[in-house]
Amino acid sequence: MKALLDAKLPVENITVISNSPKVAGLAVAEARGIQTIVVNHRDYSDRVSFDTALAEKIDGYQPNLIALAGFMRILSDGFVNRYQGRLINIHPSLLPSFPGLKTHASALHEGVKIHGCTVHFVTPKVDYGPIVIQAAVPILPNDTEQTLAARVLQQEHHVYPQAVRWFLEGQLKNIGNRVEISEATTRNTVLYSPGLQE
């Protein structure tokens, strides 16, 4: 979230909504004068009732885009379908490889040579959906989960703001399960791979 705010994207209004009152991102946003809201999932008996309350808050702002950042809850199909085409997420793997949790441990266990992150439009299927941009990093012989996670996080901070910028500039178009970037100059940057040529 902080990387998105640091990117100074072309937006008029930003609201940060959290499902937990204790996350550090709320303080980061408030320090910048950004409105924050908490819809605590613990106040609701099930996922659908929480998602309904969350959607009511979101709809009050009529957002063009909802960018998930560190939001570690599975959203109901109804919620996802409500915001289809304007709900995006970043996942710490090169999807469709390693969906779910513990992606860095899985990459190391499987012995793959590259790992990374993916920005994608959210669909009811978890960690799936049209891919906007990916960043790949090499897996080094002495990598641990922590060192690999740190290297991937650096690239998350690079590609997520880029994806949001493309969306806000109207450059993204969903065609089936593919995303096309409208300007030819950006098509060569949908896979960012620092260090792979070294």
List 134's β-bridge partners, or say none: 118, 191
Strands, DSSP E only, in 122-182? 131-138, 172-175, 178-181
What Å distances lie between residue 176 and 20, 33, 121, 169, CA to CA? 34, 39, 12, 21
**Torsion angles phi and psi, residue 113, rounded to 5:** -95, -20
b (16+ CB within 10 A) / e for 60-94: eeebeebbbbebeeebbeebbebbeeebbbbbbbb
Is 104 part of the annotated catalytic residue set? Answer: no
What distance in Å separates the CA atoms of residue 146 and residue 155, rounded to the nearest whole number?
Answer: 15
User: Among 41, 91, 157, 158, which one carries the catalytic annotation?
Assistant: 91
Residues with catalytic annotation? 91
